[in-house]
Structure 1
């Protein structure tokens, strides 16, 4: 991990800070509700991490994911605010990265890449059955796309006029483990 930062599991007490990162990272129509993040922390245990500034112990980024059954992934699965209670399968073989964001002041590529990779590494260590990792990204999020591609993700699908992204394109990226 980058000097001055550490990664730890997200806790319920991190919700206010996670929501601050969420609001500073996404357009208002994409910001997910706090209850969605609360459910992720409770129901997708070992799949949610925060990036913490070591000196202040303040949360400056988050990574949330859940495990899915590889056989049951359709485009409806990517709905904003979907219920992790219904979708998360602890024995699932597909890791869906539901959200990843950092505060603007810590968005340097090396920190973002390190945090992204460290979070996946920790999840994969807990869930050795994982076969693939999936994520959805807005067509305009070029820096995020660069991180994903550097980490070995490949674009597998284009969703035209994706409703949750204001009818813009959405890309599904995957990586086989």
Structure 2
């Protein structure tokens, strides 16, 4: 009978060793899976941040391009007004301001509120300047337009983070 007890105790110890080994293996596996989950989560987070950076860069590039386009259209229109007023260019056509207006409308989407407000004021000053052309003289309206253009450029520089030396 003693042999039976020894066999039972031996089997119980062997069974306990199997359970303990199995539990330890399961615990190691869970830790490995947790580490893998954390690694994958960090990888996803890094990928998300990279996509956000790429989106911000793309939007910033588009914003810069639209600011530049509006500035160029304003300059073209103001040059046409100036030349028409000084007799060094043709008279203004109907809708001479349309390209600047279209560029302003594109800014509505991408510009900051401050830059869009400054752009709107510059465009409005351009229209007033265009309506008050005098032969060969700089008008108050032209001076006002230049001031509003300078305000627009300052707002754009602030918006884009361009540092200026003053």
TM-score normalized by structure 1?
0.25
More strand by share: 1
Larger radius of gyration: 2
Structure showing the higher helix proportion among its residues:
2
